[in-house]
A and B are shown apart, each in its own frame.
Chain A
Amino acid sequence: MRPVRRFFCAPNVACANLPTRNTIGQNLFEKVWDAHAVRSLSNGQTQLLIGTHLIHEVTSPQAFGMLRDLGFKVKYPSRTFATVDHIVPTDQRVEPFSDPLADAMIRELRRNADEFEITYFDLATGKQGIVHVVGPEQGITQPGTTIACGDSHTATHGAFGAIAFGIGTTQVRDVLATQTMALGKLKVRRINVEGVLSPGVYAKDVIMHIIAQLGAKGGIGYAYEYGGSLLDSFSIEERMTVCNMSIEGGARCGYVNPDEKTFEYLKGRPYSPDGDEWEQAVERWRSMASDKDCSYDDVVNIRAEDIAPTVTWGVSPDQAFSINGSLPDPESAASEAERLSIDEALAYMKLEAGSAIKGTRVDVAFLGSCTNGRLSDFREVAKFLKGHKVADGVKAIAVPGSQIVDALARKEGLHEVFTEAGFEWRGAGCSMCLAMNPDKLVGDQLCASSSNRNFKGRQGSPTGRTVLMSPVMVAAAAVSGAISDAREVFEVERAVN
């Protein structure tokens, strides 16, 4: 019998055991925390129940090893879901893989999923993909729940109003063995973004702008709640892009309150509740949203019209600015530490203080990742890419975030738009976001990338250079052969009007 995997709540039961509070409203983080708090631990942390556990091949094998060493079983195998994403090749997808280490990892995951009876979206299922794309598209990611995954971008699932934590391998063991983990409660910072974006500015620019404003460590100790009229107007996939990069801002998790769009998105997905359970679930999900009169530990207000197409110029995600900005001068830095950081970043990126980044030659264009590898990303790029060609000397790859994204894009003929323009259309996986598979930068190649990290060596070459930007900006870089303002390359203003 297929185990029950649906997420729903028996009416009125969930609330019965909640600690009563006489205070005014609660925010979503507090509600979810209270609903999942099992008890206090001796060190003052909370034992937190994890509703959904997602695993992949890189951070789980050692956890299963520890589990075996201790003689433990997986406590709730039906609440754990596995996929393979980081090491899968995106071109040659037949096994055995040419890389024996990658091959050993996929075999190990298969063995663990088998032995512990865990649902595994393997390559042959047609549902494989990046864990943060697969969870939402299967309807596994649901509002008001706790989610954990041995991957820092688990924050992505917050787009549904889930509290989703990236965890280390020992914690993966803890969740496997007990379906709980030890955690200290976070503070909550509300980030309001009000207004509308101008044409050519996207969700990716919004989160990069927020990180540039608040800093890469600004969110330490916080959960970020994103809201305001702009977030309300965003699609679920746009919200995923925003929540995805919470971790780049130092926050442990990020979320958007669930609304009708969230429910609409989830309706009819394989693991979404259906029938009577659907109504009950929606009722519960709705009740988990932050109350109007709740309080926050901090509030930040951002105006949508201040956000420009944003690119990184350095080796930390907060080293970002408007595409039309000029590179900072270390000599005018506010502190010695900042001067060193700017110096180091410019030297690594081989960029010159005071000059523009626009016009910098690009060797590689990468479209994909859990930040921007969903159907809406490829659709948006395809709108502009038609009739353009990738510039000579640029290697451009488009990598769908999952096999389902791949199939849907093909159905719409999107892959043809990309291949006609000179992009390679690949199979699903993390690919060049962190280059654990064969997709890597070579030497000091510069990559225009729709991914989320511009760390030194992130894309597979110890001297490789990454410039983060929105998917449409990546396409503009690909066709012009240089970092460009997509609004100029594609005459965005005209195209949308």
Chain B
Amino acid sequence: MALEKITKVTGSAAYVPGNDIDTDRIIPARFMKCVTFDGLGEYLFHDVRKDENGVDRDHPLNDERFSSASILISNANFGCGSSREHAPQALYRYGFRAVIAESFADIFFGNCTTLGMPCVVAKAEDVRALAAVVEANPAAEVTIDVVGNRVLSEGIDFAVKIPQAAHDALVAGQWDPIAELQEGDSEVAQRVAALGYLPAGK
């Protein structure tokens, strides 16, 4: 499977501040009553963006100046909670292509990587500086140099971390592991036989 090599992501950004932004907040459970991921983008951050009557609350994503943002900036432990892939799917379908935050929950991070959506880890002060640039100029172009592990914007250039495995997978265009997993078929069969608890030969 030829996948896109994700070497950099460029676009305008939006800052959604907060630590421990959980996947329930990214996509509330009631919108998971679906059998496909289509249409999830519409409900991204729904309950913090709309009040009980469906009227817009004060939220960065309700601010027109950030409506074309493709990079999300946030703080620590982003994507904690439920393993729902509906959360990265909602971000992706809304139009985001990368997330910059101080740290990420493990499952969320992995889910994003398999969608080809880099999550890069930045220092708190760098997040703050970048957020300030974006707030001052919402059209500011932000570039995540995935290959070089850096983030660049107006007057900004800082290092970010991406765990090596995710980094390599994104850059090599191997972020969807299915093809490689299937190549391991015969070794899987051997391992199954050695363990003895899976029915062999299936």
Contacts and interface: CB of A to CB of B under 8 A. Distances in A.
Contact of A43 (B172, B182, B199): B172
Contacts of B46: 462
Contacts of B168: 42-44
B12 interface: no
Contact of A453 (B24, B35, B48, B76): B24
B195 A9 contact: yes
Contacts of A340: 17-19
Contact of A102 (B33, B103, B115, B199): B33
B177 A101 contact: no
Nearest to B37: A62
B68 interface: no
Interface residues of A, number: 88
A350 B32 CA distance: 28
Nearest to A458: B24
A108 B34 CA distance: 10
A4 interface: yes
A178 B182 contact: yes
Interface string B164-202: 111011001010111011101101101110111111001
Contacts of B135: none
Contact of B32 (A58, A178, A183): A58
A99 interface: yes
A76 B76 contact: no
Contacts of A216: 20, 77, 80
A35 B193 CA distance: 12
A300 interface: no
Contact of A455 (B24, B35, B51, B124): B24
A266 interface: no
Interface residues of B, number: 71
A267 interface: no
B29 interface: yes
A434 B24 CA distance: 9
B2 to A, nearest CB: 14
Interface in B24-53: 24-25, 28-30, 32-37, 46-48, 50-52
Given A62-B35, A456-B47, A44 B165 contact: yes
B106 A221 contact: yes
A14 B85 contact: no
Contacts of B33: 87, 99, 101-102, 105, 436
B18 to A, nearest CB: 7
Interface stretch (A163-171, A365-373, A390-398, A407-415): A163-171
A76 B197 CA distance: 12
Contacts, number: 238
B19 A101 contact: no
Given A173-B178, A457-B47, A49 B24 contact: no
A6 B197 contact: yes
19 contacts: A9-B197, A38-B184, A41-B177, A43-B168, A43-B172, A47-B184, A49-B191, A61-B36, A76-B192, A168-B88, A170-B114, A170-B176, A174-B181, A220-B104, A220-B105, A344-B18, A436-B33, A455-B22, A457-B28
Interface of B: 17-20, 22, 24-25, 28-30, 32-37, 46-48, 50-52, 75-77, 80-86, 88, 103-107, 110-111, 114-115, 124, 163-166, 168-169, 172, 174, 176-178, 180-182, 184-185, 187-188, 190-192, 194-199, 202
- Give me the 3 closest cross-chain CB pairs, A-B, nearest first: A168-B111, A462-B47, A168-B85
Interface of A: 3-4, 6-10, 13-14, 16-17, 35-39, 41-45, 47, 49, 51, 58-59, 61-62, 65, 70, 75-79, 86-87, 99, 101-102, 104-105, 108, 145, 150-152, 154, 166-171, 173-174, 177-184, 216-217, 220-221, 247, 250, 252, 316, 337, 340-341, 344, 434-436, 443, 453, 455-458, 460, 462-463
